[in-house]
Chain A
Amino acid sequence: MFSTSNLFSPIKLPSQMETHLWYSLPNEIKTESLLSQYVDLLSPLEKDHIFSISSHELQKSALIARALVRTTISRYQIGSQVSPRSLEFKKNAHGKPEVIWQNSDDWHPPPPRLHFNLSHTSSLIACGVTVDSPIGVDVEEKQRTMKNNILSFAKRYFSCEEVELLSAISDPEVQRQEFIKLWTLKEAYVKALGRGFSGAPFNTFTIRFSSMNPDSEDSGIMIVPLENPSDLTTNWQFAQLELGGSHYAAICRESNGGASMKVIVRKTIPLVEEQIISEIN
């Protein structure tokens, strides 16, 4: 279903049960006039950063990422935040970006708490959006190869249980794919926590797949903290998707009373168009 958005046509917020995932493909965005419009949306600091990137391709992709975040969030039209340019961002202690909602204390009732998280590869940029739940998103190219040996890398950074799971896969190509998917799940989790790789080292928790319960609605992925005591929380749920036929994506958000994650995926060219790809239950 195509919808040509006329600049900033509003979008309904995700319900508490929903997660929205927006993505853009830099390769499809080429016209200089559109890229200039994106530059116009940025803050001075963002412009400085973009212009400091020497590679044209990387510069374009960084620019699209900022445009995606700003246009996406402003589409939800929260309070007075109607313009992509007016949004302000801050970083938490671990560097996770968050929106600064203007004068939110004055609002009655309080504004909906929109959360977002961005994941950026050179060929695809994704932005997940939720209401009332922190969110982490990670994407990786399906074809991505590792420069290090996969099991060596896993032994260094992942948990023992995860190393065992990967070691048990005899086909190297399947092993590589499962490794990448596992990476995206772990990365999505630590981004949802807001702590990132440094704040929640990957060998302090296992991602465990419980595939044995067909009646269970959720994806059967659970977090198992490995330290005792641990400050890692476990009330999170995951979704795994493929985007554009070319990328693995993982989304992590707070659990929703046992219901599986409902994800609405939209492919977009900021300021131009969007297309609902699928609704995943």
Chain B
Amino acid sequence: MASVAGSSTLMASLSCHKPNQALTRASNFNAVSLAINGKSFTSLKLYSAPSRLRISCAAKPETVDKVCGIVRKQLALPEDSAVTGESKFASLGADSLDTVEIVMGLEEEFGISVEEESAQTIATVQDAADLIEKLIEKK
């Protein structure tokens, strides 16, 4: 049961460790069913605050830009095509081999090593940028 001060509850439940889920859940209205005094109110729409959450966990814009550049190059996308942090690799037309080529490009650009196991967590450009900064920090 969520309280009316629901945005804080929602934010607490959205974890930085799963950026995918955070973006997916936070970018839509969250329809929450509340039970107040035994009555249930459905379709109360709460804005969770995605931008606040993302800034505290997210990679620097320069990192995101570099990732966008590598993605554009790999997928041979025209300069004016929309590639942002929220872009999903699959939606940009990356197949499995493209995705691994992109990861290899990121390894070389940033001097990091991305375990194959981590590749599954990367669905968007933002995911990749966040992982890169985490790996750079560990070095």
Q: Are B101 and A148 in contact (CB under 8 A)?
A: yes
Q: Are B96 and A153 in contact (CB under 8 A)?
A: no
Q: Are B93 and A202 in contact (CB under 8 A)?
A: no
Q: Are A147 and B73 in contact (CB under 8 A)?
A: yes
Q: Give A138 to B95 CA distance when docked, in angstroms.
A: 10
A residues near B96, Cβ cutoff 8 Å = 138, 187, 197
Give the nearest-CB partner of A201 in chain B.
B116
Q: Are B91 and A202 in contact (CB under 8 A)?
A: no
8 Å CB contacts to B: which residues of A139-162?
140, 144, 146-148, 152-153, 156-157
B residues near A61, Cβ cutoff 8 Å = 93
Asked if A11 is an interface residue, CB under 8 A from chain B, the answer is no
Query: Which of A52, A95, A140, A198 is close to B117, meaning CB atoms less than 8 Å apart?
Result: A198
Q: How far is the CB of A71 from chain B (nearest CB, A)?
A: 21
Asked if A92 is an interface residue, CB under 8 A from chain B, the answer is no
- Report the count of interface residues on B (CB-CB < 8 A): 21
Asked if B81 is an interface residue, CB under 8 A from chain A, the answer is yes
Given known A-B contacts A138-B96, A147-B73, A202 and B116 have beta carbons under 8 A apart: yes
Q: Give A57 to B91 CA distance when docked, in angstroms.
A: 11
Q: Are B92 and A197 in contact (CB under 8 A)?
A: no
Question: What is the interface of chain B, defined by CB distance below 8 A to chain A?
Answer: 73-74, 81-82, 91-93, 95-97, 100-101, 104-105, 107, 115-120
- Listed from nearest, the 6 A-B pairs whose CB atoms lie closest are A198-B120, A201-B116, A198-B119, A53-B91, A58-B93, A198-B117
